[in-house]
Structure 1
Amino acid sequence: MSARTVLDLFRCETESPRDEHYFHYTLDGHVALSTAEFLARTAGLAAGLEKAGIGRGDRVMLMTDNRPEWHMVDLAAIDLGAADVPVYGTLTPAQIAYQVKDSGSIAAVVENADQMAKFLEIQGECPDLRHLIQIEGPCAPGVRPLMEVIDSGRSGESEDLFWQRADHVQAEDVLTLIYTSGTTGNPKGVTLTHENLVQNVLPSAERAVVDPADFCLEFLPLCHVFERMLGYLYMYRGVTKAYCSVYHVADLLTTIKPTVFASVPRIYEKVYDKVMGKVASAPAVRRALFNWALANGRKAYPRRLAGQPSGGLSMALADKLVLSKVREALGGRLRFCVSGGAPLPLFINEFFHSIGIRILEGYGLTETSPVVAVNGIAGGESRLGTVGRAISNVEVKIADDGELCVKGPSVMKGYWNLPEKTAEVFD
């Protein structure tokens, strides 16, 4: 199937249903949803939102930590031809009010009562914000529980209607508004279409190769376009997903045991600091053993990057005695990670490659949906210290003043309600 919209990517996932496909981990345990139940709830939510009067051209604000409901709301809104406006839970009421009014959001789906209190505080100054929906916990008067909205739309026909509506969504339809903070002034709403995200997912999937056997961890905020694009890529490839808060990932890695995750460099730096701190406090013999094993890993990883055998008996012994133990602290099953958002220090990437975990460093912008360039998992497709080659459908050039210029189908439609700002960044 040739994917045109994000809903086409989701359809790929539903064609190979599983009993446990979406996991939500907290420090208290986890819950799992089957593909069938996730689709049923998403379809019910779309119908429930439609009954409430939400439809094509509307905007729905979304404030929640990573969890299956994030994607339910996202998919339900875009199925109706609406666009969603994901925002961070750290925003103040005043910041929320600006983005509600600027985007013209008529509904907000919020995780809990603490976050909902911010929306109730600003409701008087945002008259278009007519629908408040809460995912968990007791609701204040005028706020509907998410499950109530889902149940109001669930029927024997809701899934068929979901796919019928999906067939009418167009590639050029606005998918989302993502607000980015500038150095001065109010944040700008980056307007991304279905085509933008789909045309970023497809070539990125050629570099970050995953399949239904993988178990990904989504902990970077889904309101950031980096994790969001990867979430769609996982759907496209039928990957099982585990969601958790970025604040809990260190405690849950050995429980979740992911095969793939994405992060910003700071997380990898923290892992490195923790490992090296333990080594520094270990007895001299153990320090020497670790350093010997790491040296073997450093010799082996260039061969692995080239797709060649990574070493002989010495490397096998180093891996069994030391390096595999370090990987176990990260769950023990990681095939590779992806890094973006800031430059990854070369020594950090070399350390992870030396212990047997690939990090694919890339570069992108919210305005480019986001990937411009990224290293690949295949032999010869990765070069440490770089962000890799440009993805296959993007052209890049460096202007005389050093500015990087990007052209391709994943470049944004523009800044919401800011034609002059849009004109400044387009050539």
Structure 2
Amino acid sequence: MGQTVTRNFDVLEYALKEFPREDAIAGKKDGKWYTYSTKEYYKKAHQLAMGLMAMGLKRGDKVATVTTNRPEWSIADMGLAMGGFVHVPIYPTLGDDEYKYILNHAEVKIIIAGDKKLFQSMNPLANMIRGVIAVYTFEDVDGAKNYEEILSLGEANKDKFEEELVATKNDIKPKDLATLIYTSGTTGVPKGVMLSHENLVSNFVAHIKLHNLGKEHKALSFLPLCHVYERSMNYHFQLKGMGVYYVGNLAQIVSSIKEIKPHMFNSVPRLLEKVYDGFVAKGKELSGVKKKLYFWALRLTHHFEYNKKFGALMRMKIALADKLIYSKWRAALGGNITYIVSGGAALQPQIARVLGMAKLTTLEGYGLTETSPVIAVNNPLKNEMMIGTVGPILEGYDVKFAADGEILCKGPGVMMGYYKAPELTEEVIDRNGWFHTGDIGVLVDDKYLKITDRKKEIFKLSGGKYIAPQMIENKLKTSELIEQVMVIGANEKFASAIISPCFPILHDWAGEHKLHYENNEELIQLPEVINKLQKEVAKVNKTLGSHEQISRIRLVYEEWTPASGELSPTLKLRRNAVSVKYQHLINDIYSVGASK
């Protein structure tokens, strides 16, 4: 099979030949599931490619999709790949400035938006950008062109373009550019990661070898397909012959799991934390003996490790807990879950133990957009699993550690480079071809990769979304009331900020509003002051993507200076020093999570 699949669209050809199914890909509309057979999927992808050819698009032209998850995303993705076009998938939650930058920088010709709301965002932007020919939508939107029009155009021009499409498909090489994926830069300017067919294919062909699920099984896909992690797994599911059910609305995940009863899905720690919180909440609703039994079963999970041999008494306890409690957890997740893949941020070990004990095997992995993405992942087929690590290095990759512990890797998944930014590419791929991940790690037992730190300041929320704190801090500091600020939230559910106000201006403002206070410590505790600063933050939030917005703030009465240690001599924020000094405030902000 490895030889057969060397380009993205080969997955579809392979699935059609080896395991065609009625529900190759599926979505939900007006509360009902609808499916495409492998044959329909194959046909529509070809129509899309020919439709774009008929519109005059040339090989190498860029087409952007801006949508939540839906089966049509895959139809577009395969059609673009086989036509030799470059797919630029973009998050549906970005701010206008970022959309404009990406559409301009990538020289996008056509945009396909998901729904009415996204069309209303995209259409005015498209009118401002030279080179964008048209905006289409996946859903029916009044006054918008529907993507079905591209398919109809392809079908109508079949005689003219069918042979050209066959020739193009035959001519596409594994090393050709397949996609541009934009990731947040430290400075806030997104970087376009160029991934070839070989980059993507080498990666998912390696990770399909980690389990035995296949054509008898279904997968649920709800993490954004515009992110390389879900996209890679999307190819993986299809290459395995699994039916893929897409959920575009996160509020529908739980009901979809119950309806579809999937065998596998990908998650981020944030969602697994919610599952865990749900288990705990269930126990709190009980009383008496039932409640005691429930929390006994929950405590029992602390003993869980993969491949751990339990004694007879412990096995009996686990069997009892399974019958009374864990089986109900499995039922709540549809009853069929064999594997959950977790990536995007660190998973709390206790959550991995709870799920593992309940036979909801959770495979934690690690990678970056620039590595297509998986560098390491826990491997159930070889029983190479360790909680608290991201598992063994994936086949095809070499990993070594720099003197400071930074993880360096080499392999066919390492990107072609950053689009139009050779100097940025040189910063991360050295002369010997090693990609510098920016993450610090160690190998446990000479086998399991453990991530211990992030080299640079950019961080991820527990939902897997990146935050570039400097960019947000710079925007916040444009308020005359904010002198210094530090954005926090690594591995937490949301971003927050610790703010040292600009006291001379705040004193003036307080005087105008006839506020009484003895000193700065009292001043920052006044509800009117807190409210005023929250309004300043709210203004900035409007310019940010939804995941970047600051949810909570805490004000401090000290001014930050090089002398007091919060700033470096060149006035750069010393994040570690600030974190240590205000640990009590950080604990207060995230105390809900900390009390688990």
Question: TM class by shorter-chain length?
Answer: over 0.9
Residues 182-240 of structure 1: per-residue CA shift (max 9 Å, x gap) = 22141100111000000101111122443111200000000000000000111211111
Assess if the C-alpha contact under 8 Å between 1:12 and 1:237 holds in 2.
no
User: Which moved further from structure 2: 112-121 or 210-219?
Assistant: 112-121
Alignment CA distance shift 1:119-1:195 (3 Å): same
| AA partner of residue 7 (structure 2) | T
| AA partner of residue 23 (structure 1) | A
Q: Are 2:201 and 1:198 aligned?
A: yes
Give the corresponding residue for 2:75: 72
Q: Distance between the aligned counterparts of 1:247 and 1:87, measured in 2?
A: 21
Q: Distance between the aligned counterparts of 2:241 and 2:312, measured in 1?
A: 30
Assess if the C-alpha contact under 8 Å between 1:301 and 1:356 holds in 2.
no
Assess if the C-alpha contact under 8 Å between 1:374 and 1:389 holds in 2.
yes
Q: Among 231, 241, 244, which residue is 2:244 paired with?
A: 241
After superposition, residues 118-157 of structure 1 pair within 5 angstroms as 118-140=121-143, 143-154=144-155
Q: Distance between the aligned counterparts of 2:382 and 2:415, measured in 1?
A: 32
Q: Are 2:284 and 1:283 aligned?
A: no
Q: Distance between the aligned counterparts of 1:164 and 1:310, measured in 2?
A: 66
Q: Are 2:102 and 1:102 aligned?
A: no
The structural deviation recorded for 1:166 is 2.3
Assess if the C-alpha contact under 8 Å between 2:24 and 2:238 holds in 1.
no
Q: Are 2:23 and 1:46 aligned?
A: no
Q: Are 2:419 and 1:416 aligned?
A: yes
Q: Distance between the aligned counterparts of 2:312 and 2:264, measured in 1?
A: 22
Give the 4+ runs in structure 1 shifted more than 4 A.
Answer: 155-164, 294-301, 305-314
Residues 318-370 of structure 1: per-residue CA shift (max 9 Å, x gap) = 32222111111111110010000000010010010011110000110010000
Residues 51-96 of structure 1: per-residue CA shift (max 9 Å, x gap) = 0112211000101111111011111111111111111111233321
| AA partner of residue 234 (structure 2) | G
Assess if the C-alpha contact under 8 Å between 1:216 and 1:242 holds in 2.
yes
Residues 94-114 of structure 1: per-residue CA shift (max 9 Å, x gap) = 321111110011111111222
Give the corresponding residue for 1:57: 60
User: Which moved further from structure 2: 61-70 or 247-256?
Assistant: 247-256
Q: Are 2:151 and 1:171 aligned?
A: no
TM normalised by structure 2 equals 0.68
Q: Distance between the aligned counterparts of 2:211 and 2:110, measured in 1?
A: 35
Indicate the percent of aligned positions where both proteins have the same amino acid: 35
| AA partner of residue 326 (structure 1) | W
The structural deviation recorded for 1:46 is 1.2
After superposition, residues 4-403 of structure 1 pair within 5 angstroms as 4-15=6-17, 16-25=19-28, 28-140=31-143, 143-154=144-155, 164-245=167-248, 246-294=250-298, 302-303=306-307, 314-403=317-406
Q: Distance between the aligned counterparts of 2:211 and 2:200, measured in 1?
A: 16
Aligned residue for 1:318, secondary structure, equals helix
Q: Distance between the aligned counterparts of 2:171 and 2:179, measured in 1?
A: 17
| AA partner of residue 183 (structure 2) | T
Assess if the C-alpha contact under 8 Å between 1:339 and 1:359 holds in 2.
yes
The structural deviation recorded for 1:426 is 1.0
Q: Distance between the aligned counterparts of 1:307 and 1:225, measured in 2?
A: 38
| AA partner of residue 166 (structure 1) | K
Alignment CA distance shift 1:414-1:373 (3 Å): same
Aligned residue for 2:135, secondary structure, equals strand
Aligned length: 424
| AA partner of residue 8 (structure 1) | D
Q: Distance between the aligned counterparts of 1:183 and 1:40, measured in 2?
A: 42
The structural deviation recorded for 1:160 is 7.7
| AA partner of residue 60 (structure 2) | G
TM normalised by structure 1 equals 0.93
Assess if the C-alpha contact under 8 Å between 2:305 and 2:386 holds in 1.
no
Q: Distance between the aligned counterparts of 1:203 and 1:307, measured in 2?
A: 32
Q: Distance between the aligned counterparts of 2:177 and 2:163, measured in 1?
A: 23
Instruction: Answer with 1 or 2: which has the greater Rg.
Output: 2
Aligned residue for 1:406, secondary structure, equals strand
Aligned residue for 2:237, secondary structure, equals helix
Alignment CA distance shift 1:395-1:60 (3 Å): same
Aligned residue for 2:84, secondary structure, equals coil
| AA partner of residue 422 (structure 1) | T
Give the corresponding residue for 2:477: none
| AA partner of residue 332 (structure 1) | G
Residues 121-146 of structure 1: per-residue CA shift (max 9 Å, x gap) = 12332120012211112342xx4211
Assess if the C-alpha contact under 8 Å between 1:212 and 1:239 holds in 2.
yes
Aligned residue for 1:6, secondary structure, equals coil
User: Which moved further from structure 2: 342-351 or 243-252?
Assistant: 243-252
Aligned residue for 1:106, secondary structure, equals strand
Q: Distance between the aligned counterparts of 1:190 and 1:386, measured in 2?
A: 26
Assess if the C-alpha contact under 8 Å between 2:98 and 2:190 holds in 1.
no
Alignment CA distance shift 1:187-1:263 (3 Å): same
Alignment CA distance shift 1:280-1:415 (3 Å): same
User: Which moved further from structure 2: 213-222 or 122-131?
Assistant: 122-131
Q: Distance between the aligned counterparts of 1:360 and 1:308, measured in 2?
A: 25
Assess if the C-alpha contact under 8 Å between 1:212 and 1:238 holds in 2.
yes
Alignment CA distance shift 1:103-1:310 (3 Å): farther
Assess if the C-alpha contact under 8 Å between 1:212 and 1:237 holds in 2.
yes
Alignment CA distance shift 1:296-1:74 (3 Å): same
The structural deviation recorded for 1:413 is 0.5
Q: Distance between the aligned counterparts of 2:419 and 2:204, measured in 1?
A: 23
Assess if the C-alpha contact under 8 Å between 1:39 and 1:159 holds in 2.
no
Q: Distance between the aligned counterparts of 2:113 and 2:85, measured in 1?
A: 17
Alignment CA distance shift 1:355-1:298 (3 Å): farther
Alignment CA distance shift 1:294-1:151 (3 Å): same
| AA partner of residue 231 (structure 1) | N
User: Which moved further from structure 2: 201-210 or 43-52?
Assistant: 201-210
